[in-house]
Amino acid sequence: MKKIAIGIIALSAIVAVYHFITPTSMIVNRVPSGETIVCFGDSLTYGTGASKGMDYPAQLSRLIDPPSFIRH
């Protein structure tokens, strides 16, 4: 019983500290200022093993109007 009481007190202390160190304002997403989509990834994103034009960025580009594709 004593261990449970100590656990509850410790948890209450953690919650109280967390409450005081976190900002009280809500996080609000900004309105996007552009139309750039960036594809980060590894060999799957790059399209290793996929036929020409079947990689993820190329397929995504075909879904966007107007289609565009720039690989760096």
Q: What total of structural domains would you count in the chain?
A: 1
Look at residue 27 in the predicted model and tell me its pLDDT: 74
* Domain membership of residue 42 as a residue range: 2-63
Q: Which DSSP category does 55 fall into?
A: S
Look at residue 69 in the predicted model and tell me its pLDDT: 61
Q: Which of 59, 56, 37, 60 is nearest to 48 (CA)?
A: 56
Q: Which residue positions in the chain have pLDDT lower than 70?
A: 22-25, 66-72
Structural domain includes residue 45: yes
The residue type found at 66 is P
Look at residue 24 in the predicted model and tell me its pLDDT: 63
Structural domain includes residue 71: no
37-51 per-position pLDDT tens digit: 778 888 888 888 888
The residue type found at 70 is I
Residue 42 and residue 60 in contact, taking contact as beta carbons nearer than 8 Å: no
Structural domain includes residue 11: yes
Structural domain includes residue 68: no
